[in-house]
Chain A
Amino acid sequence: GENVEQHPSTLSVQEGDSAVIKCTYSDSASNYFPWYKQELGKGPQLIIDIRSNVGEKKDQRIAVTLNKTAKHFSLHITETQPEDSAVYFCAASIGGTSYGKLTFGQGTILTVHP
């Protein structure tokens, strides 16, 4: 089955700096790569996603890049703010008959210091 590795496990930045979280996946059939943010005491929430036919996607201060050849994808957050502090999870999904099953990475605890 699919295996997703996520790094780093913790990331500490100063407010205004950029943050980058990286993930690799093992199954070349995976074609959908969402990122979820989990705030304290809440369930994860989708913040951005990318499909395999796209190399990059941006939404205001967050962007995701995908390198299908190398089987890795990354989350970029610019101009970080304290409210960006959370746990971030990458995930991968194989399209078609998977019923939307996601394989998640191990998570990254992001702390943004004011």
Chain B
Amino acid sequence: DVKVTQSSRYLVKRTGEKVFLECVQDMDHENMFWYRQDPGLGLRLIYFSYDVKMKEKGDIPEGYSVSREKKERFSLILESASTNQTSMYLCASMRAGGTYNEQFFGPGTRLTVL
């Protein structure tokens, strides 16, 4: 089974702090995604990566950056956390080679910014 793990289930940070959210997948998937989940808004794509060191902006990239130095690891970075970034963050991975491949999600990190 595919396993996607996220470094923390819960995280509390202060405004202005630099925050790192880590995601690791064990199935050698090429594509990885970061979403944020907010009630009533569904899942919104922040960034995705289709290869090591490659990244593409999603629908809401402002205030975020990403890093993919190794195939299995995709990091989301909040350069200067703000209260409006309080949310659930979900990482997903997917095998490349077709639109119809399943995305496998991690359990999520609930981030609170005070």
Contact = CB atoms under 8 A, between A and B. Distances in A.
Contacts of A43: 4, 90, 92, 104-108
Nearest to B41: A106
A29 to B, nearest CB: 11
B4 A100 contact: no
Contacts of B58: 101
A45 B99 contact: no
Interface string B28-45: 000101010001111111
Given A1-B59, A89-B42, A100 B94 contact: yes
Contacts of A45: 105
Contact of A100 (B44, B59, B103, B108): B103
B50 interface: yes
A12 B107 CA distance: 25
Nearest to B99: A95
B55 to A, nearest CB: 11
Q: How large is the interface on B (under 10, 10 to 19, 20 to 34, 35 or more residues)?
A: 20 to 34
Interface in A40-67: 41-46, 49, 51
Interface string B47-70: 010100000101100000000000
Nearest to A94: B99
Contacts of B103: 46, 100, 102
A4 B44 CA distance: 11
Counting from the closest, the 9 A-B pairs by CB-CB distance are A43-B105, A95-B99, A104-B43, A104-B42, A106-B42, A46-B102, A99-B50, A100-B94, A107-B42
28 contacts: A4-B42, A32-B99, A41-B107, A42-B107, A42-B108, A43-B4, A43-B92, A43-B104, A43-B107, A45-B105, A46-B103, A49-B100, A49-B102, A89-B42, A94-B99, A95-B99, A96-B99, A98-B99, A99-B31, A99-B56, A100-B103, A101-B45, A101-B48, A102-B45, A103-B45, A105-B42, A106-B41, A107-B39
